[in-house]
Amino acid sequence: DGGITQSPKYLFRKEGQNVTLSCEQNLNHDAMYWYRQDPGQGLRLIYYSQIVNDFQKGDIAEGYSVSREKKESFPLTVTSAQKNPTAFYLCASSPGTYTDTQYFGPGTRLTVL
Amino acid sequence: AQSVTQLDSQVPVFEEAPVELRCNYSSSVSVYLFWYVQYPNQGLQLLLKYLSGSTLVESINGFEAEFNKSQTSFHLRKPSVHISDTAEYFCAVGGYGGSQGNLIFGKGTKLSVKP
């Protein structure tokens, strides 16, 4: 089945540690996105990538980093510079043009202790 | 730039009653609009979208939304809800001519359907 996978579903880390969230898609989509979701805040865009080896900052990129070395993969690293990293992180992909539907993964809930 | 406002954070309703979830947007360019649904601890799923053409769009499970340019609204409606419709609903707006990835989401409306 085609889709987007995110792993792990739940992640616990100590304060000050970097952590990498995985996002893989087998939909052959060109574009991929990372969002952060906090209760009552909706979704906020962290980074997006339209093509391999290229990505752009979203609205809340500070304290995060990404890479796009393969079309299928778009990992997100939450660095120690992110002041409040505890949140639900959602990865999405779309075929490519900006009016295309974005398809979402199941999410990773990160808790920093 | 675009912005979107979902006017109700929570909407409780009884089963088989009609429901309307409100969404208003602001934009200086022509827009395209989406409604997504999120069940607890899951990702978002597309419910319906408006790109152009007919202003009334429908989903396969009985929801519909009408694009109203003069009122800058894209309200979601269902004439008779089921318990299984309990979820959080997000309205999202993008602007033609804007940069890709610039999809702005509302803060969500939690629909709670009671028996």
Q: CB distance B34–A104 less than 8 Å? A: no
pLDDT in tens, B69-110: 999 999 999 999 999 999 999 999 988 765 555 789 999 999
The distance of Cα A70 from the centroid of its chain, to the nearest Å, equals: 15
Q: By the 8 A CB rule, do B66 and B3 touch? A: no
Length of chain B measured in residues: 115
Q: For residue B51, which residues of chain A lie inside 8 Å, CB to CB?
A: 99
Closest to A66 in 3D by CA, of A12, A23, A4: A23
Q: What is the DSSP string of B85-96?
A: G-EEEEEEEEET
pLDDT in tens, A56-74: 999 999 999 999 999 999 9
Nearest to B101 among A40, A58, A90 (CB): A58
Q: Give the pLDDT confidence score for residue B100 in this predicted structure.
A: 52
Using CA of residue B71, residue B7, residue B99, residue B44, what is the dihedral sign?
A: negative
Low-confidence residues in chain A, pLDDT < 50: none
End-to-end CA distance of chain A, in Å? Answer: 36
Residue B101 is given by DSSP the state: T
pLDDT in tens, B18-51: 999 999 999 888 889 999 999 988 899 999 999 9
Find, in chain B, the residue whose alpha carbon is nearest to that of A4: B43
